[in-house]
Amino acid sequence: MKLRTILLTTALSLATYTAEAGILSDWTSFIWEDIKDIRCHHKYDVYIPLYEWHNRLTYDKEHIDKYNENAWGAGFGISHYNQENTWSGIYAMAFKDSNSYVETYFGYARQWNWTAGDNNQWRAGVGYALGLTQRHEYSYIPVPLPLPMFGVGYRAFDLRAAYVPGVKNDGNVLFIFSSFSF
């Protein structure tokens, strides 16, 4: 089965279930409509995870020294911009986590943008990512992970970051990744 089909089926199933169950109905119907728009009017995206910065204010030196911060990996997705230059996408990524194990993240994201330049080629914005992650320490059982997100872009290239909140020596990671639409 194609990755695009898997992503769409998963996203649509989750949205349908929550809408039918009456869980956050306004919110899920908004996401449901956005996912349908992505499905009908999309570009393909390639994602490249770049870096995992551990917040030095919340980690001691012992932890910082042992963690991997090079989040090398790759991802694929589909996305679109609406008339207000708001970006929405469905995607999946795999990358090396802080402990150098493979971690996956797949889900839906939305970013509201401010634009500048001729034909609004430059943009910067804030948004969120709603998805599931799978990590070694959780036996790769999918765990929900909603995250705040921000990014900047020029034409088909975007540099985005999501912040994973946490406590002392756990979480508090800025995850930086790039994407290219074609």
Burial of 10 (0-12, 13-18, 19+ CB in 10 A): middle
Residue tagged active-site, from 34, 45, 54, 88: 54
Token pair in block for residue 9: 């089926």
What span, in angstroms and rounded, lies between the C-alpha atoms of 149 and 129?
Answer: 7
Q: Domains of the chain (ranges plus CATH)?
A: 43-181 (2.40.160.20)
| pLDDT at residue 24, as a whole number | 59
In the predicted structure, residue 7 carries a pLDDT above the cut 80: no
What is residue 91's predicted lDDT score, i.e. its pLDDT?
97
Q: Which of 79, 98, 179, 181 is catalytic?
A: 98
pLDDT digits over 27-82, tens only?
A: 677 888 888 889 888 999 999 999 999 999 999 999 999 999 999 999 999 999 99
**How many Å apart are CA 34 and CA 88, to the nearest integer?**
7
The amino acid present at 26, given as its one-letter code, is D
Is the predicted pLDDT of residue 5 greater than 80, yes or no?
no
Among 113, 45, 116, smallest CA distance to 85 is for 113
**What number is the average pLDDT over the span 129-142?**
94
**Is the pLDDT at 20 greater than 70, yes or no?**
no
∠ CA 49-173-109, nearest 5°, is 55
The whole-model pTM stands at 0.83
Out of 45, 97, 158, 179, the active site residue is 97
- How far apart are alpha carbons 150 and 158 in whole angstroms? 10
> Do 133 and 173 form a contact (C-beta atoms < 8 A)?
no
Statement: residue 125 has pLDDT above 60: yes
Q: Based on the residue annotation, tell me whether 98 is a catalytic residue of this protein.
A: yes
Query: What's the CA gap between 81 and 97, in Å, rounded?
Result: 30
